[in-house]
């Protein structure tokens, strides 16, 4: 088998013999299992993000969750949080992409600009953006916000969260 990471999670759907139900709904594969001569794709990112957040003692049911990025990891995070009972908003630079992804997942879609204006309304922020992406013109996030950044190294979102006194969960926990 194999693990798949960005930017190949969505394109893998077309390269496999079959995909699991969640991977098909999410539109993203991050795990490939070889059975005989068949390669089957699954999405374990949705489980990983929920597990990482719960390990940090964050209660997902009824929480307001903001997911930044509507690529493979962002869609998986939104799906997992939605299934765990969170009220999920999927934000993307292109609101149209967020709307298309959110419609499949069953969550709400907003633009990054709208997300920035509504930031005080969220309990959890998941960033599935590239490390160098700087989605906000904000100088500070609400300190009560819990933030999980998919990136394993420094990122603009993680730096802003740390400077704001937010509880920060490492992207490595999501992977593990």
Distance CA 68, CA 86 (A): 15
Q: Return the DSSP state at 16.
A: S
Q: Are 138 and 117 contacting, i.e. CB atoms less than 8 angstroms apart?
A: no
- Alpha carbon 167 to its chain's center: 17
| Tokens matching residue 48 | 């990983």
Strands 31-35 and 38-42: antiparallel
Which active-site residues does the annotation give? Answer: 9
The SS3 call for residue 122 is coil
Other beta carbons within 10 angstroms of residue 151's beta carbon come to 22
């Amino acid at each position: 088998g194999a693990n798949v990471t960005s930017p190949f999670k969505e394109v893998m759907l077309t390269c496999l013999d079959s995909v699991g139900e969640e991977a098909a709904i999410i539109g993203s594969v991050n795990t490939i299992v070889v059975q005989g001569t068949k390669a089957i794709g699954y999405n374990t990112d949705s489980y990983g993000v929920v597990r990482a957040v719960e390990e940090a003692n964050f209660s997902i049911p009824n929480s307001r969750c903001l997911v930044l990025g509507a690529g493979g990891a962002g869609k998986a995070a939104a799906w997992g949080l939605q299934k765990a009972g969170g009220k999920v908003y999927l934000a993307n630079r292109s609101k149209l992409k967020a709307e298309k992804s959110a419609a499949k997942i069953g969550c709400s879609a907003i633009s990054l600009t709208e997300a920035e204006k509504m930031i005080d309304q969220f309990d959890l922020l998941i960033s599935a953006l590239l490390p160098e992406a700087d989605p906000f013109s904000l100088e500070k996030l609400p300190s009560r916000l819990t933030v999980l950044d998919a990136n394993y190294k420094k990122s603009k979102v993680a730096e802003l969260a740390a400077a704001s006194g937010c509880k920060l969960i490492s992207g490595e926990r999501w992977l593990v």
